[in-house]
A and B are shown apart, each in its own frame.
Chain A
Amino acid sequence: MSVLARSVGNAFRNKVRTAAVVAVLAVAIGLALAMLVANQAVGAKVQELNASVGTVLTVNPAGGQGFEGGGEPLTAAQAATAAAVPNVSAVVGTSSLRLRNAAAAAAQAAQTAQTGQGGPGNQTGQAGPGGQAAATLTTSLTAAVDAGTLGNRNQQANGTTGSTGTTRQPVRSLPITATGIGAEVDTTGKGLNITQGTGLGDYSAASTGALLGTTLAEKNNLSIGSTFTINDQTYTVTGLFDAGTAFGNNAVYITLPTAQTLAGTPGELSSMIVTVNSMDNVAAAKTALQAALGSDKADVTQGQNLQTAVSSLDSVKNISFIAFIAALGTAGLIILLIMVMLVRERRREIGVLKAIGAPNRTIGLQFVLEALVLAALGSAFGAAIASFASNGIASALISSNTSTGAATTGRGFPGGAGGAFQGGQRGPFGGASQLLNSVTASASPGVIAGGIAAVFGVAIIGALVPALLTARIRPIEVLRGE
């Protein structure tokens, strides 16, 4: 019989109590681990976002922030100017179109005329950057984002969900974003993740090919080779992409010249996506670019849309870290208290061990090991709890921290258009909550192992105090009555 065997035996001496202690510990440890997992997941996301926007600058027409038609549109000449700025490695022009389902647009126009409420031309609440009015065109596509779920109360008051039903068309459906792009990138400059089919080939030439977001394609039962119309012109789906967010997937990409033709604004750009050759040069390039284009002509922003999201996620990261530490401390405290109790309870027995010559360190070690047995059991059950709960906890943390804050769009919503948007649609487009879907807090073994190591560290600290208390118990305790 070794010290370890004795400690394990002692841990199970009172089975009911051990079960109760392990249950409480498991909850604390499970919470700690879930918080750690959430922390890591959000941290990874923040890093990913920072990396993705890190070297990308967005250029919009000056004075356009939040207002329709503020400023002159950007031109191809400005794109050339931007490309000539030192350290700029690529300039991609985009031209944004707002597509409305033809039937829905007609229905809404009728209703607006009656009630005088909202409707096209209402310019409040434009969230996205960009001052140029995007052209609104009609399409055969139906939006994949259900307006009813996006918190547009006006919409809900009208009693429709915006996308259901074939007999009753929604009074207001959400627009679909169609963006003409000069390269195979999305509106944040990130390479498009084409999941099916192929890209558009030459993005600088007119073509009738189009890339659809996965959910938009699904919603409209379209697949590679299917066709749809924009302003009565037929387009063919060449590929599907996954932008990672519901909003990002409710979009169509066509080549830049095609979009410019559709909008009737050849040579004009809604925005430019400027990629800088390295992270270190971004600040300098931004200043140079702003100077080259002139601040009265263009606004240069650095991943601004995601900045709010990143800072929201950062606060989630901090909160989850604090919660991790708190839960860890709680686990340590539970161990401390239970061990103090055990030491008091076994005073006499400790006296016996001393009376027959056990050194203090042997007795102390025995109690520390016993605490570790409890911690190990608590960790095993806690890890199980964490692996089930961490995703829910991460989601809850993110949504509670970002539901009101971020007013910017997650994906560089081609802004400016008065269009059909009413105010109040910022929430659902709020950067961080859009990103919620893409933060998967899966309990990676490495993180769990690290968390459990921390639990053991805390358990040792928690057990050390009572173990040191045993050193003060005198062997004469053995003669005291129970």
Chain B
Amino acid sequence: MIEVKNLVRTFNSGDRTIKPVNDVSFVLEQGTLASIVGKSGSGKSTLLSLLGALDKPTSGDVVVDGVSLASLPDSKLTEYRRRDIGFVFQQFNLIPNLSAVDNVMLPMEFAGVRKASRLERAKELLEQVQLDPSKHDRRINRLSGGEQQRVAIARALANEPKLILADEPTGNLDEQTGDHIIELLSSLSRDHNTTILVVTHDRVLANKTDRRFRLQQGKLTEEPARERAVAATA
């Protein structure tokens, strides 16, 4: 369970102060698939970075399974990112001179997983995101944007995190591959009780999630719940 309490993040840009996240509160039960929509620059990525402990809030707190992130020292936050969080970055942020498999293996290496099982699992994950096996050993900077996006998703899943934060995970994918990724994410939340928060501009994707939020001028509002089954057939 993740509880977000009065979260605020302000930036000073020149003489102006901007508040992309301004007093945001919500609670997500474990296993929920949720989405956030909002205009460009509305603060969606900023909010995700606070939930993923990449950044520290100006005020407020995020409590994960009863543990307040604000109270944790940096080393514990690193451990939290490694163990509990799977982050899919808007810009993918893969290591360009490593292969797809090596990129997926990285979080497992940091978590101390044995090399043989790292490799096995990395290949498995890349197959799950439908990356052609011939491209598993290819260096990242020789993959297309959509291919990189799928490697980024596979990497986020590597350590079986309990919270996946995905920033526009289908932005670079064709409809069919995008649908597959959505299916992959919802099966994770369904079958593995993984909490998933997806930032998206894609209404179809948003409509398939259990809960839908909208971020506007730093404020988060929830849109009326829909039946998942209905959304899936829409």
Q: Which residue of A lies closest to B83 (CB)?
A: A357
Contact A6 B98 (CB under 8 A): yes
B106 & A355 in contact (Cβ 8 Å cutoff): no
Q: Tell me if A13 and B97 are in contact (CB < 8 A).
A: yes
Segment at the A interface, from B61-69, B73-81, B176-184: B73-81
Partner of A356, one of B55, B81, B115: B81
**Interface membership of chain A positions 356-375, coded 1 if the CB is closer than 8 angstroms to chain B and 0 otherwise:** 11111010000000000000
- Quick check: A475 and B105 within 8 Å, CB to CB? no
Q: A357-B107, A359-B75 are in contact. Are A478 and B81 (CB under 8 A)?
A: no
B31, CB-defined interface residue at 8 Å = no
Known contacts A6-B98, A352-B95, A355-B93; A362/B54 CB under 8 A: no
Contact (Cβ within 8 A) B49 A356: no
B215 to chain A, nearest CB (A): 16
Name the prevailing secondary structure of the A interface residues.
helix
Number of A-B contacts (CB under 8 A): 73
B45 within 8 A of A: yes
**Is the Cβ of A349 less than 8 Å from the Cβ of B95?**
yes
Task: Assess whether A10 is interfacial by the CB under 8 Å rule.
Answer: yes
B95 x A355 contact (CB < 8 A) = no
Is A244 part of the binding interface, using a Cβ–Cβ cutoff of 8 Å? no
**B89 lies within 8 A of chain A by Cβ:** yes
Determine the distance from Cα of A386 to Cα of B76 in the docked complex, in whole angstroms: 49
Considering only residues 25-48 of chain A, those with a C-beta below 8 Å from chain B are none
- Determine whether the beta carbon of A9 is less than 8 Å from that of B82: no
Instruction: Kindly supply a per-residue 1/0 record for chain B positions 85-107, scoring 1 wherever the CB is within 8 Å of any chain A CB and 0 otherwise.
Output: 10101010111011000100111
Least CB distance, B23 to chain A, in whole angstroms: 21
Is B222's beta carbon under 8 Å from chain A? no
Asked if residues A359 and B78 are in contact (CB atoms below 8 Å), the reply is: yes
A469 CB–B CB distance under 8 Å: no
B104 to chain A, nearest CB (A): 10
Q: Given that A9-B97, A476-B49, A478-B89 are known contacts, is A357 also in contact with B54, CB under 8 Å in the complex?
A: no
Given A349-B95, A479-B45 in contact, is the A356-B82 Cβ separation under 8 Å? Answer: yes
Is A80 part of the binding interface, using a Cβ–Cβ cutoff of 8 Å? no
Partner of A357 from the list B49, B81, B93, B102 (CB cut-off 8 Å) is B81
Number of A residues near B (Cβ < 8 Å) is 24
User: B78 touching A354 by the CB < 8 A rule?
Assistant: yes
A20 at the interface (CB under 8 A from B): no
- B155 within 8 Å of A (CB atoms): yes
Which residues from chain A contact B93 at a C-beta distance below 8 Å? 348, 351-352, 355, 478
A157 beta carbon closer than 8 Å to chain B: no
Give the bracket for the number of chain B residues in contact with chain A: 20 to 34
Pair B81/A1 contact, Cβ less than 8 Å: no
Q: Is the CB of A476 within 8 A of B155?
A: no
- Give bound CA distance, A185 to B40, whole Å: 97
CB distance from B94 to the nearest CB of A (A): 8
Q: Are B54 and A356 in contact (CB under 8 A)?
A: no
Question: Which of B54, B97, B115 meets A355, CB within 8 Å?
Answer: B54
Q: Is the CB of A356 within 8 A of B75?
A: no
In the complex the two chains form, is B98's CB within 8 Å of A356's CB? no
Closest residue of chain A to B87, judged by CB? A355
Q: How far is the CA of A157 from the CA of B78 in the complex (A)?
A: 83
Q: Are A356 and B97 in contact (CB under 8 A)?
A: no
Which residues of the partner chain B approach A13 to less than 8 Å between Cβ atoms? 97
Query: Cβ of B89 and Cβ of A357 under 8 Å apart?
Result: no
Given A357-B79, A357-B83, A357-B111, A10 contacting B97 (CB threshold 8 A)? yes
Contacts of A362 in B (CB 8 A): 110
Chain A 446-482 against B: per-residue CB contact (8 Å), 1 yes, 0 no?
A: 0000000000000000000000000000111011000
For B79, the chain A residues whose CB sits under 8 A away are 357
Are B54 and A476 in contact (CB-based, < 8 A)? yes
**CB of A366, distance to nearest CB on chain B (Å):** 11
A479 / chain B contacts, CB cutoff of 8 Å = 45, 49, 54-55, 89, 91
Q: In the assembled complex, how far is the CB of residue A360 from the closest CB belonging to chain B, in whole angstroms?
A: 8
CA distance A60 to B87 in the complex (A): 91
Contacts of B159 in A (CB 8 A): 357
Q: In the docked arrangement, what's the CA distance between A357 and B85, Å? A: 9
Task: Give 16 A-B contacts (CB < 8 Å), ordered by A residue.
Answer: A1-B98, A1-B109, A2-B115, A13-B97, A351-B93, A352-B94, A352-B95, A355-B52, A355-B54, A356-B87, A356-B155, A357-B159, A360-B78, A362-B110, A474-B54, A478-B89
Q: B residues engaging A (CB < 8 A)?
A: 45, 49, 52-55, 75, 78-79, 81-83, 85, 87, 89, 91, 93-95, 97-98, 102, 105-107, 109-111, 115, 155, 159
Chain A to chain B: the 7 pairs with minimum beta-carbon distance, closest first: A357-B82, A476-B55, A475-B54, A357-B81, A1-B102, A352-B93, A356-B107
Q: A1-B106, A359-B75, A479-B91 are in contact. List 12 more A-B contacts (CB 8 A).
A: A348-B93, A351-B93, A352-B89, A355-B52, A355-B81, A356-B107, A356-B155, A357-B85, A358-B106, A359-B78, A475-B81, A476-B49
